[in-house]
Amino acid sequence: MIPKKTISRKTFKPDVGKIIFVSSLFRFKILSLAKDELKPIFLIFAPEKIAFHQTKEERVDDLLKIILEMCYFHHMKRIILLSLNMRKKLFR
């Protein structure tokens, strides 16, 4: 990812079992604490339009369904718009 404008930074200090989503690009889960029982600290840098979200493991399936539905509807919207544009060009 190469941002065109501002890079944003988000800091996380998650508990064990928490999931951190970075947009719909990837996610990672905290499996255990370090030997000294300190929580991990993550700094994530990304373009400002990339969303960060921390959640409980129990909510992951619900969030993934929402993300997939959003992707599906966005994709279908593009297909419909493309087909409408093609019709306009064909029937001028």
- At residue 84, the pLDDT reads 65
Positive/negative CA dihedral, 74, 10, 41, 43: positive
| 20 within a domain of the structure (yes/no) | yes
The pLDDT value given to residue 3: 61
Which stretches of the chain score pLDDT less than 50?
none
How big is the CA angle at 18 (ends 3 and 29), to the nearest 5 degrees?
A: 65
The CA-to-CA distance between both ends of the chain, in Å, stands at 40
Residue 17 is assigned to a structural domain of this protein: yes
Judge if pTM exceeds 0.75.
Answer: no
pLDDT value for 91: 63
Specify if 57 maps to a domain: yes
What range does the domain containing 51 cover?
A: 8-90
* Alpha helices for 1-92 (secondary structure H): 60-90
Does any domain span residue 14? yes
Domain count, the chain: 1
Q: Does residue 67 form part of some domain? A: yes
